[in-house]
Copies of this chain bind each other. A is one copy, B any other.
């Protein structure tokens, strides 16, 4: 049943949010970086602004959250997870927070900070 649902939802066009949440994220060098925790969705437009990846300490940190631009994530059928075109070093310097230091998303500066950071690594 779970398998069938997954196959149906993960088409080339549309994917179910609750299937993405919990999916593993890997570096291009195949290191497991974390899992997708949730999305941040623009209320007005319905556009996914960021996919928030949670880390369980891989980078020497406690549990932390990295908001990633949607375009940074590419689904890899073989790994059954997302590959993000970023090195661990690039991620270490990226905007992140913990459950004790939740960002103020209503301050648009936070989003601008994320966008600005990823302009470089993602070459866009």
Name A residues whose Cβ lies closer than 8 Å to a Cβ of B: 4-5, 8-9, 11-21, 37-50, 52, 70-71, 75, 102-106, 108, 111
- Residues on B with C-beta less than 8 A from A38 are 16-19
- Residues on B with C-beta less than 8 A from A19 are 38
- Chain A at the B interface: mostly helix, strand, loop or mixed? mixed
- A69 (CB) vs chain B CBs: closest residue: B46
Report the Cα distance A13→B75, complex, angstroms.
27
| In-complex Cβ contact of A43 among B39, B52, B75 (8 A) | B75
- A75 (CB) vs chain B CBs: closest residue: B43
- Contact indicator A8/B105 (Cβ below 8 Å): yes
- Residues on B with C-beta less than 8 A from A20 are 41
